[in-house]
Structure 1
Amino acid sequence: MNVVSKDLTIFVPKVFNNVDCTFVKLVLDEESFQTNVRDYSQLVDAHANHNKLDDAERIIKKMNEKGIMHDILTKTIMIHMYCKAGKLDLAKEAFESLRTQGFQPDMKVYTSMILAYVNVGDQKSAKALLTDIEFKNLKPSEDLFLAVLRSYAVIADPVGASWVMDRMHIAGYQSGLESNSYMVEVYSRSGSPEEARKYFDEIIKSGNKPDDKCVARMIAAYANKNLLDEALRLLLQLEKDGIELGLDTYSVLIDWLGKLQLIDEAEDLLGKFTEKGVSPSLDVHISLCDMYSRSREEKKTLQALGVLEANKEKLKHDEFERVINGLIAGGFRKDADRIRTLMIDRGFKESNQLNVAFQAFQTFNRTRSSRK
């Protein structure tokens, strides 16, 4: 039998250029080829780069069957591959194996792992790896810090967000538009409008303009505490500074005005969507349904409710409950029952508060009927 050329680099680039990869696998099985770990790692890398995870895993399995130990390059490839594919458990296994064998993960490996943790909402593990990086005198990119900071904003954790900001400053990165915007978001979500305003003002002072999402978050912070005067002063200041409001901010204002039953004012803002030729978002229809229900405007309530029922698969648990509570408050019993059934069919369990509201509503209606 002729000895096959040992240079696998001849074949790997061709695997994904209309050359059947089965040939390369047969070459790896050929005893005279005398394959080693580097041959396998190149093939795994080629498959991983082309998102062929199943094929890459078959090559790894073949390595294991032949008793070929994974070297640092192979494990690094596996970590990137599993992180990209969202297989965090396998990525963690490869990462811990890498460290157990005494290999030092590089910054790219740390970045892949941290982003994988961020993507599944595991801020604790992401923070631990950032701390590990700091001890090893490696420098994360600013984008990596921002990704972790954004994840803390989503879960409204100001302590974690502040920790990331401190680490950014220690690493030599200055606060900028994006990082300050995330701090506005985290304090808005956590119910601290004063702290949110500090970071919002910092954006203005630095010569930047907050985007519509950031403005909306700042207004939402005031709305959560019903600080209407502060919100109005801010809106006047933004107008003076030439900062134009967008649909995200209008959505927040419509929701707030609706809760205050300022229907005419809310409807005026609703016209902004028409002016821009954009349909109101589902959030806006939830706000409108709640507002019209409580004001007992049947026609407009049913119009908004029709949109929500057509998008029932998109509604979250708390959104269902808000709609139902609004319908109960407005006396729309049959509609409340119907939406309650839709919620339960989606697998959501009604809260104790909603259950009590239903019982009180039914009792009140029975009592009122018996008096007639």
Structure 2
Amino acid sequence: MSLKHLLLRQTRKNFSKINGNLLDRQSPNINATHIFITKPSFSLLDSHRGYYSSLAARNFELSKLNSLFSRCIHFTVTKLSNAAIEPKPESAEVEDDDGSMNEFLSRFVWIMREKISEEFPDYDKQTVNAMLLMIVEKVVSEMEKGRFEQTLKASTDNPDWDLSEDLWKTVTEVSNMVLDDMKKATKKEKMKGFLLSREVQEMCRFAGEVGIRGDMLREFRFKWAREKMEESEFYESLEQLRKEARTQEENKDSASGAEAASEVKSEAVSLPKRRGKLKYKIYGLDLSDPKWSELADKLHVAEKLILPQEPKPISGMCKLVTEKILLLNENDDPSPLLAEWKELLQPTRIDWITLLDRLNEKNRFLYFKVAELLLSEESFQTNIRDYSKLIEVYAKENRLEDAERILVKMNEKGIAPDILTTIYLIHMYSKAGNLDSAKKAFDSLRSHGFQPDEKVYNSMIMAYVNAGQPKLGESLMRDMEARDIKPSQDIYMALLRSFSQCGYVSGAGRIAATMQFAGISPNLESCTLLVEAYGQAGDPDKARNNFDYMIKLGHAPDDRCTASMIAAYEKKNLLDKALDLLLQLEKDGFEPGLATYAVLVDWLGKLQLVEEAEQVLAKIGAQGHYLPIKVRISLCDMYSRAGIEKKALQALKILEAKKQELGHDDFERIINGLVAGGFLQDAKRMEGVMEAQGFIASQPLQMALRTSQALRGKRLP
């Protein structure tokens, strides 16, 4: 038995002698399990209050419990030294344990007294000390079982407690707190030793010589001492590992020697016959269980699906046929060579895919043709992904008819388009401007329960925008926002542009406000679109407000924006305001461009201000611009109405040469101008050109032509 155990045991005996065996004589059927350091147990403690008071009444000064422990330990040490106990090799360790134990008991008693006093403020000091005596005696008895750190952990797992569970939990918490404080104090003392070490002192002396003093020197000193301490602990851990390794090697050598001896001994002995299945384990798993064989079969099947297969080697005649296939032209029929190749190689799916990859690298058009042929090939093992892949490729290349042909083949095979294929169709139809097919695919996607993502929403919104239905596109945008999908700035601008072109002022205003709420600041493009929207709606005042607001934001108006503002004034024929705006902008350094001049030429032509319009034309020519088709239409209308035959016919000749660029409204304006100017033959000829281009003259225009013929070529007033 170690000196520590002897010391504790003797301390217990001496402690009992000093107390006069109070607890043994005065325990009126009370056990320490009645003690709880919790409020709900107050009544239990209060019921035994007289017992604790009786302990205090026997003149036992428990307030001096710390000094009492010290006297007991001192008495025990003196007695053991008089008995001439010989020192043992671990005497230094025992002394350290004694010091640690004394410090632990001192700290423990101090904190426990405070906790008991807090929980029972109505009890007097003597009663509290009596309660503390019972707790400490139990702790000391538990400490006799071994080192107190191990005792604490072991006691929490011991069901044979004399103290209650709550009380022992409090004791454990206080003990751990005391141990942590003791460890911190030990580390602090160790740190002090390194602060006073020779190396740290020399480093501080050198730092002082180079001018480092005050708080900085103090920080460096602690840093150097901490590094030295960590270095020391590192080497101590290495030494400990070396000792453990040496011990393991010695144990291994002794075990191998014993094993060799047992083998020699059993050389002449035969192994016994095994009965039943052999059970073997790896890392605690019983691998003899039949479930592992089932798992191996499943892994084998999964391996075939996951790991890529290797294509068959191509050689001999099959190699020659392969080269012939690769050398085919786009218009050649690959079916005979494919049949020959199939007969020679007996290919699987991986072989066909390898051939398609080589075709895709060498001849993309031939790749599409072969890929479509393989959709009906049994050995190719066609699945829905092969169809969707072809549809995706055709959709990206805007080959709408080819993609629809693959879709028809899918339906003929009884394969319904899945979500991925439907998404490809939405992108394709939206890009091609086929709104009805895009809506059908979008509704099919939603019917499958799939929530569209940002790309699908963007495609459908652009389909509505391109079809001139921005309101439906806006409703989809609101649906995106409701699902916390933030539309991109391009989508906002596309909707704003569509509302502006259609003249939907309220819709354009809503989109502009939504953009600002989304954190997108107004730019030159968005402000220009708002000006165009109000100009299309015939509200030049609000158009001017947005124009001025754009300048206030710091955006200088460009030629397009200025032209939109002039066009807004043209709707109400406010020529004076338009000219004032141009003069003001020219003072600020603005120079009108082709767009602004084109609007002015059209406006002046309608007012029959031929000379002013020609002056503007001269400015366009001075800038080196080529007259756009809209300006030439305006000139033809102006010269026809003014009766300037030569210039009217020159303009008309140019327009006839560009008839493919003319729209229905353009033809209507040209013919009306010719009729108004009395050029009836030219008007009838242009009506025939109009019908040849697929346009039908409106009823007012037909009425004007018939009226002009009835008047025999006279000009209409």
| Pairwise TM-score range, normalised by the shorter structure | 0.7 to 0.9
Q: Output aligned runs, 1:286-297, within 5 Å.
A: 286-297=633-644
Instruction: Note the alpha carbon deviations across 1:269-309, whole angstroms, 9 max, x for none.
Output: 11123213333222222222232333333332332233233
User: Mean Cα displacement is larger for which, 7-16 or 311-320?
Assistant: 7-16
1:18 correspondence with 2:362: yes
Q: 1:141 aligns with which of 481, 488, 503?
A: 488
Instruction: Note the alpha carbon deviations across 1:7-58, whole angstroms, 9 max, x for none.
Output: 9986776553226345555665555665544454344334433444455444
Note the residue ranges of structure 2 that are not aligned, 5 or more in a row: 1-344
Match of 2:700 in 1: 352
| One-letter identity of the residue aligned with 1:17 | E
Match of 2:259 in 1: none
Separation in 2 of the partners of 1:59 and 1:332? Answer: 55
| One-letter identity of the residue aligned with 1:239 | E
Separation in 2 of the partners of 1:117 and 1:302? Answer: 41
Match of 2:551 in 1: 204
Q: Following TM superposition, by how much is the alpha carbon of 1:125 offset from its aligned partner in structure 2, in angstroms?
A: 2.6
Match of 2:668 in 1: 321
Match of 2:622 in 1: 275
Separation in 2 of the partners of 1:366 and 1:59? Answer: 62
Report the CA distance shift for 1:226/1:59 in structure 2 as closer, same or farther (over 3 A). Answer: closer
Separation in 2 of the partners of 1:105 and 1:162? Answer: 27
Q: Output aligned runs, 1:173-192, within 5 Å.
A: 173-192=520-539
Match of 2:305 in 1: none
Match of 2:507 in 1: 160
Separation in 2 of the partners of 1:115 and 1:134? Answer: 16
Separation in 1 of the partners of 2:372 and 2:652? Answer: 59
Note the residue ranges of structure 1 that are not aligned, 5 or more in a row: 368-372
Given that 1:47 and 1:56 are in contact with CA atoms closer than 8 Å, whether structure 2 keeps it comes out as yes
Given that 1:15 and 1:24 are in contact with CA atoms closer than 8 Å, whether structure 2 keeps it comes out as no
Given that 2:675 and 2:708 are in contact with CA atoms closer than 8 Å, whether structure 1 keeps it comes out as no
Given that 1:12 and 1:43 are in contact with CA atoms closer than 8 Å, whether structure 2 keeps it comes out as no
Q: 2:420 aligns with which of 30, 51, 73?
A: 73
Instruction: Note the alpha carbon deviations across 1:308-367, whole angstroms, 9 max, x for none.
Output: 333344333333333344344444444444444544555322442662586278449789
SS in 2 for 1:232: helix
Given that 2:687 and 2:697 are in contact with CA atoms closer than 8 Å, whether structure 1 keeps it comes out as no
Separation in 2 of the partners of 1:337 and 1:89? Answer: 38
User: Mean Cα displacement is larger for which, 84-93 or 109-118?
Assistant: 84-93
Instruction: Note the alpha carbon deviations across 1:183-209, whole angstroms, 9 max, x for none.
Output: 111111121111111222222222222
SS in 2 for 1:175: coil
Match of 1:114 in 2: 461
User: Mean Cα displacement is larger for which, 56-65 or 272-281?
Assistant: 56-65
SS in 1 for 2:362: coil
Report the CA distance shift for 1:71/1:340 in structure 2 as closer, same or farther (over 3 A). Answer: closer
Instruction: Note the alpha carbon deviations across 1:89-130, whole angstroms, 9 max, x for none.
Output: 332222111111110110001111111221122223322212
| One-letter identity of the residue aligned with 2:539 | S
Report the CA distance shift for 1:310/1:132 in structure 2 as closer, same or farther (over 3 A). Answer: same
Q: Output aligned runs, 1:171-250, within 5 Å.
A: 171-250=518-597
Given that 2:419 and 2:448 are in contact with CA atoms closer than 8 Å, whether structure 1 keeps it comes out as no
| One-letter identity of the residue aligned with 2:487 | P
1:41 correspondence with 2:384: no
Report the CA distance shift for 1:142/1:107 in structure 2 as closer, same or farther (over 3 A). Answer: same
Report the CA distance shift for 1:13/1:84 in structure 2 as closer, same or farther (over 3 A). Answer: farther
SS in 2 for 1:102: coil
Given that 1:11 and 1:24 are in contact with CA atoms closer than 8 Å, whether structure 2 keeps it comes out as no
Q: Following TM superposition, by how much is the alpha carbon of 1:267 offset from its aligned partner in structure 2, in angstroms?
A: 1.0
Separation in 2 of the partners of 1:340 and 1:312? Answer: 12
User: Mean Cα displacement is larger for which, 145-154 or 207-216?
Assistant: 207-216
Given that 2:680 and 2:708 are in contact with CA atoms closer than 8 Å, whether structure 1 keeps it comes out as no
Given that 2:680 and 2:713 are in contact with CA atoms closer than 8 Å, whether structure 1 keeps it comes out as no
User: Mean Cα displacement is larger for which, 4-13 or 328-337?
Assistant: 4-13
User: Mean Cα displacement is larger for which, 182-191 or 64-73?
Assistant: 64-73
Separation in 1 of the partners of 2:351 and 2:526? Answer: 49
| One-letter identity of the residue aligned with 1:348 | I
Given that 1:192 and 1:221 are in contact with CA atoms closer than 8 Å, whether structure 2 keeps it comes out as yes
User: Mean Cα displacement is larger for which, 120-129 or 21-30?
Assistant: 21-30
Q: How high is the sequence identity, in percent, across the aligned residues?
A: 50
Given that 2:668 and 2:701 are in contact with CA atoms closer than 8 Å, whether structure 1 keeps it comes out as no
Report the CA distance shift for 1:62/1:224 in structure 2 as closer, same or farther (over 3 A). Answer: closer
Report the CA distance shift for 1:328/1:58 in structure 2 as closer, same or farther (over 3 A). Answer: closer
User: Mean Cα displacement is larger for which, 274-283 or 33-42?
Assistant: 33-42
| One-letter identity of the residue aligned with 2:474 | K
Separation in 2 of the partners of 1:33 and 1:364? Answer: 77
Match of 2:276 in 1: none
Q: Output aligned runs, 1:321-340, within 5 Å.
A: 321-340=668-687
Given that 1:47 and 1:53 are in contact with CA atoms closer than 8 Å, whether structure 2 keeps it comes out as yes
Separation in 2 of the partners of 1:23 and 1:343? Answer: 46
Q: 2:516 aligns with which of 169, 175, 194?
A: 169
Q: Following TM superposition, by how much is the alpha carbon of 1:212 offset from its aligned partner in structure 2, in angstroms?
A: 1.6
Q: Following TM superposition, by how much is the alpha carbon of 1:181 offset from its aligned partner in structure 2, in angstroms?
A: 0.9
Q: 1:264 aligns with which of 611, 616, 622?
A: 611
User: Mean Cα displacement is larger for which, 99-108 or 123-132?
Assistant: 123-132
Q: Following TM superposition, by how much is the alpha carbon of 1:221 offset from its aligned partner in structure 2, in angstroms?
A: 1.0
Given that 1:43 and 1:56 are in contact with CA atoms closer than 8 Å, whether structure 2 keeps it comes out as yes
Match of 2:436 in 1: 89
Given that 2:422 and 2:441 are in contact with CA atoms closer than 8 Å, whether structure 1 keeps it comes out as yes
Q: If the length of structure 2 is used for normalisation, what is the TM-score?
A: 0.46
Match of 1:370 in 2: none
User: Mean Cα displacement is larger for which, 155-164 or 21-30?
Assistant: 21-30
Given that 2:531 and 2:546 are in contact with CA atoms closer than 8 Å, whether structure 1 keeps it comes out as yes
Q: Following TM superposition, by how much is the alpha carbon of 1:6 offset from its aligned partner in structure 2, in angstroms?
A: 5.8
Q: Following TM superposition, by how much is the alpha carbon of 1:82 offset from its aligned partner in structure 2, in angstroms?
A: 2.7
RMSD after superposition: 3.2
Separation in 2 of the partners of 1:332 and 1:88? Answer: 43
Given that 1:325 and 1:354 are in contact with CA atoms closer than 8 Å, whether structure 2 keeps it comes out as no
Q: 1:311 aligns with which of 658, 683, 689?
A: 658
Given that 2:356 and 2:370 are in contact with CA atoms closer than 8 Å, whether structure 1 keeps it comes out as no
Report the CA distance shift for 1:71/1:270 in structure 2 as closer, same or farther (over 3 A). Answer: same
Instruction: Note the alpha carbon deviations across 1:69-92, whole angstroms, 9 max, x for none.
Output: 433222222222232233333322
Report the CA distance shift for 1:58/1:290 in structure 2 as closer, same or farther (over 3 A). Answer: closer
Report the CA distance shift for 1:192/1:14 in structure 2 as closer, same or farther (over 3 A). Answer: farther
Separation in 1 of the partners of 2:502 and 2:620? Answer: 29
The alignment of Structure 1 onto Structure 2 pairs a total of residues equal to 367
Separation in 2 of the partners of 1:5 and 1:337? Answer: 67
SS in 2 for 1:245: coil
Report the CA distance shift for 1:163/1:258 in structure 2 as closer, same or farther (over 3 A). Answer: same
Report the CA distance shift for 1:335/1:64 in structure 2 as closer, same or farther (over 3 A). Answer: closer
Separation in 2 of the partners of 1:22 and 1:118? Answer: 35
